[in-house]
Structure 1
Amino acid sequence: MICEWCEVSHATHATNTVYWELPDGRKVICITETPCVRCVACGMEYQTEETARAIEDQLFLIDTNELNKQLTYKELMYKERILKRNYFNFS
């Protein structure tokens, strides 16, 4: 896999911990075991555009009042949705 930062083919799939601001800006949550790309050449760890969009969409679709300060990526993705789709995504 090619790293998007240094463009060297030493990147691999991994997981890491990220901190994400809720859409309403009330608080930040810690999401552990989040899929990421890790590059051994430059040391960068980053989320793909798809993973970032999945997190953003899920945070718009669930009741964020029920979220703990920390949860795993899978726990976040399995939260019951109160909307069927993200009506705020205009891309």
Structure 2
Amino acid sequence: MKCEWCGQHEAEEINCTVYWELPDGTRAIEITDTPGMECKSCGMEYQAEEIIQEIEDQLLLIDTTKLDKSISYEQLMKKKRFLKYNYFRF
């Protein structure tokens, strides 16, 4: 796949650990097994825009005060939401 950073066709799908600041800015959490990309050419690890948006939306729509310091991507996405959709995204 084409790397979004260097443009070379050496990006591969991976699962990785990311660190995310909560929307209220009180702390950051570790999210393990997050879908991502890794480029063998430039060494960059990153998430596709869709994954970033999913994480951001989920963190806005759940009770983040109940999150531990670390959670898997799958567990995070299964958390019960206050709303079904982020109505504030344009």
CA-to-partner distance for each residue in 1:21-62, whole Å, 9 max, x for gaps?
111111100001111011111111001100000000000111
Structure 1 runs not aligned, ≥5 long: none
Which AA in structure 1 matches 2:24?
Answer: D
1:51 aligns to what?
A: 51
1:16 aligns with 2:20: no
Q: TM-score, normalised by structure 1?
A: 0.95
The percent identity for this pair of structures is: 57
Which AA in structure 2 matches 1:84?
Answer: K
CA distance in 2, matches of 1:65, 1:89: 22
Q: TM-score, normalised by structure 2?
A: 0.96
Q: Secondary structure at the match of 1:25?
A: coil
Q: Secondary structure at the match of 2:51?
A: helix
The CA RMSD over aligned residues, in Å, is 0.8
1:42 aligns to what?
A: 42
Following superposition of structure 1 onto structure 2, how do residues 57-68 of structure 1 map, counting pairs within 5 Å? 57-68=57-68
Runs of 4+ off more than 3 Å: none
CA distance in 1, matches of 2:82, 2:4: 34
- Report how far residue 82 of structure 1 moved: 1.2
